[in-house]
């Protein structure tokens, strides 16, 4: 009898619980029970499994109450971890034995770049089908237009920036708002457009510390010029920009002080609040589509592949969902590396678009 296992790994992202629910329900529709692995790859090594289905009166599997109740909530009911042990071949061998012990015939891994890389390593060492679902608010995973959590994170950022703008206008202030994203500036770029920010600082456009501070000073000066009649300045800073937010605020404040008068400049680091919160509609919808394709792939014996959302492309393997295709994880990892080092056409397109709108943001 087939059995599917599912785990969430790495940083949590809204939509992970929706993906767990989707995997469980789709597998149940094929009369395949699902087991959850607690604590990511550490739980896989330690054999911490729990059933995610119950049997109905007709004997068919269905999701347990917790899976159904928390499908739209943020975080992950299975827990997550970053597992240094999983880098060791001996630990992966133990994980494979645990899968065999529970008679698992397919594993779905939900997570970001490191998690997908772990799935790739595991797939090379077992004949059990391993399928990945991309989940990372940073949107830094190759061969998927978007990963789970990105849309929810952007909604959180936009709401926070709107609230900050309210108080900024009341007190004629400038705010530097730092958002998560690691080495990817996607969240910062998208949020800057959505919130009508005055400028955005991206890691994909590297500048020296002095250049970063100078750009912020110039933006604030121009925005608060008497001819502009502006009452707030909003600068979005990506986490991957190496100059700390508090240093930008301090330096800009000092440089904009004239005869004892200074601009009121504040800094806010949104931090982990961006990763939390209930999943948005799009993340729930995407989770359902990823989950369906992943389960069907595992049942068909497909392994070392990731489901990616790609509209209008003919690469990868077609699935029952016209928008979701399967890509070899080796290809995903190569494209991810190119995304992060700036050589990907996707990265270059993002930078080009950002260059094109910088002048628009400052208006």
Q: List pLDDT tens digits, range 311-326.
A: 667 789 999 999 999 9
Residue 187 clears pLDDT 70, i.e. is over it:
yes
Which helix (H) or strand (E) segment holds residue 133: the answer is strand 130-134
pLDDT digits (tens, 9 = 90+) for 194-218: 999 999 998 887 788 999 999 999 9
Q: What is the CATH number of domain 4-149+279-340?
A: 3.40.50.450
pLDDT at 233: 93
Q: Residue 308: which residues within 8 A CB-CB, separation 6 or more?
A: 134, 143, 144, 145, 316, 324, 325, 326, 327, 332
The pLDDT assigned to 261 comes to: 61
Check residue 363 and give its pLDDT: 45
Q: Using CA atoms, how far apart are residues 159 and 168, in angstroms rounded to an integer?
A: 14
Query: Can you give the pLDDT at residue 358?
Result: 63
4: part of which helix (H) or strand (E)? strand 4-8
pLDDT for 347: 73
Angstrom distances, CA of residue 254 to CA of 98, 214, 220, 284, 288: 59, 12, 13, 46, 51
CATH 3.40.50.450 residue ranges of the chain are 4-149+279-340
Q: Is the pTM of this model over 0.85?
A: yes
What are the tens digits of pLDDT across the range 254-286? 888 755 566 789 999 999 999 999 999 999 999
Of the options 1.10.357.10, 3.40.50.460, 3.40.50.720, 3.40.50.300, the CATH number for the domain spanning 151-276: 3.40.50.460
Confidence at residue 256, expressed as pLDDT on a 0 to 100 scale: 87
pLDDT in tens, 72-108: 999 999 999 889 999 999 999 999 999 999 999 999 9
Q: Which of 164, 162, 163 is nearest to 265 (CA)?
A: 164
Q: How confident is the model at residue 183 (pLDDT cuts 50, 70, 90)?
A: confident
Q: Which of 31, 42, 58, 138 is catalytic?
A: 138
Is 138 assigned a catalytic role?
A: yes
Question: Contact at 8 Å (CB) between 291 and 298?
Answer: no
Q: Where in the chain is the domain with CATH 3.40.50.460?
A: 151-276
Task: Indicate the range of 272-281, 290-299, 332-341, 349-358 predicted with least confidence.
Answer: 349-358
What end-to-end distance do the CA atoms of the chain give, in Å?
Answer: 63
């Amino acid at each position: 009898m087939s059995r599917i296992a599912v785990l969430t790994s790495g940083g949590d992202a809204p939509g992970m619980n929706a993906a767990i629910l989707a995997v469980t329900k789709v597998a149940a529709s094929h009369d395949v029970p699902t087991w959850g692995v607690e604590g990511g790859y550490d739980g896989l090594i330690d054999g911490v499994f729990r059933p995610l289905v119950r049997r109905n009166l007709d004997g068919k599997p269905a999701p347990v109450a917790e899976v159904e109740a928390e499908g739209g909530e943020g975080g992950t009911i299975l827990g997550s971890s970053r597992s240094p042990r999983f880098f060791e071949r001996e630990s992966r061998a133990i994980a494979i034995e645990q899968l065999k012990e529970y008679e698992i015939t397919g594993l779905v891994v939900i997570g970001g770049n490191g998690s997908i890389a772990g799935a790739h390593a595991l797939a090379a060492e077992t004949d059990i089908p391993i399928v990945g679902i991309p989940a990372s608010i940073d949107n830094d995973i190759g061969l998927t237009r978007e990963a789970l959590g990105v849309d929810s994170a952007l909604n959180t950022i936009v709401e926070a920036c709107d609230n900050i703008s309210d108080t900024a206008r009341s007190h004629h202030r400038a705010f530097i708002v730092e958002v998560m994203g690691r080495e990817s500036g996607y969240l910062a770029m998208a949020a800057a457009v959505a919130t009508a920010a005055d400028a955005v600082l991206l890691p994909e456009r590297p500048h020296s510390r002095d250049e970063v501070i100078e750009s912020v000073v110039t933006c604030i000066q121009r925005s608060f010029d008497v001819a502009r009649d502006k009452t707030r300045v909003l600068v979005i800073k990506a986490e991957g920009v190496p100059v700390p937010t508090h240093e930008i605020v301090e330096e800009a404040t000092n440089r904009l002080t004239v005869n004892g008068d200074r601009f009121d400049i504040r800094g806010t680091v949104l931090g982990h609040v961006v990763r939390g919160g209930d999943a948005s509609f799009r993340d729930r919808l995407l989770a359902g589509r990823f989950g369906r394709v992943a389960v069907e792939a595992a049942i068909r014996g497909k392994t070392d592949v990731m489901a990616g959302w790609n509209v209008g492309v003919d690469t990868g393997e077609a699935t029952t969902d016209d928008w979701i295709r399967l890509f070899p994880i080796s290809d995903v990892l190569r494209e991810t590396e190119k995304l992060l080092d700036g050589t990907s056409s996707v990265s270059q397109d993002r930078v080009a678009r950002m260059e094109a709108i910088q002048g628009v943001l400052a208006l």
